[in-house]
Amino acid sequence: MGHREDLLEGAERCLLEKGFARTTARDLVREPGTNLASIGCHYGSKDTLPAQAYVAMVEEVSGTFEGGGAVGGDSEPGSVERFREVWASAVESMRAPGSMWRLTMEVPAMGDQLPEVREHLARAQREAARGAEPLGEGRGVGCGVGGEGQVMGAAGGRDGSV
């Protein structure tokens, strides 16, 4: 594993421990044992690295809520049982120490203080909404234009902003 991957994993640990606002550039390099220049070399800025780490964590957790993850054992996709399993798993993950859900609340609450993080996450959210569109096809549910606001709720705007 190279510096880039080490930095990303270290940033994930820092975010879970300290959150976005309290994580410093020195924290980000101390964790994996790299140097400050490696952040700029691999990620461009101190704010881009934690934003990318957060997106990577969201992608990992989202696998849990899909059919192939920890949720979804024997239940039928689209069934009430699957719905219950997914939400039980989500609630359980909120209770776990170092929960990623705290970070999810920090971004909208502090978005004006984290502009680069906010922009990176807005781009990732727009991409995710496009990827979620096929999930609602044939069910009368859509996540595309006009529907992503339902997915983002109070945390984001229709244009994908956080």
HSE at residue 33, side-chain half, CA atoms within 13 A, is 2
Which domain does 74 fall in, by range? 3-135
Any domain includes 105: yes
Question: How many CB atoms neighbour CB 22 within 10 A?
Answer: 11
Any domain includes 148: no
Any domain includes 25: yes
Any domain includes 60: yes
- pLDDT tens figures, 60-93: 877 665 544 555 567 788 889 988 888 888 788 7
Instruction: Please work out, in degrees rounded to the nearest 5, the angle formed at the alpha carbon of residue 69 by the alpha carbons of 121 and 155.
Output: 25
CATH of the domain at 8: 1.10.357.10
Count up the domains in the chain and report the number. 1
Any domain includes 159: no
- 59: helix, coil or strand? helix
Has residue 141 got a pLDDT over 80? no
Q: Is the pTM of this model over 0.95?
A: no
Question: How many CB atoms neighbour CB 135 within 10 A?
Answer: 14
- pLDDT tens figures, 100-114: 888 888 888 887 887
CA distance 74 to 59: 23
CA distance 33 to 12: 14
- Listed residue (57, 162, 159) closest to 116, CA to CA: 162
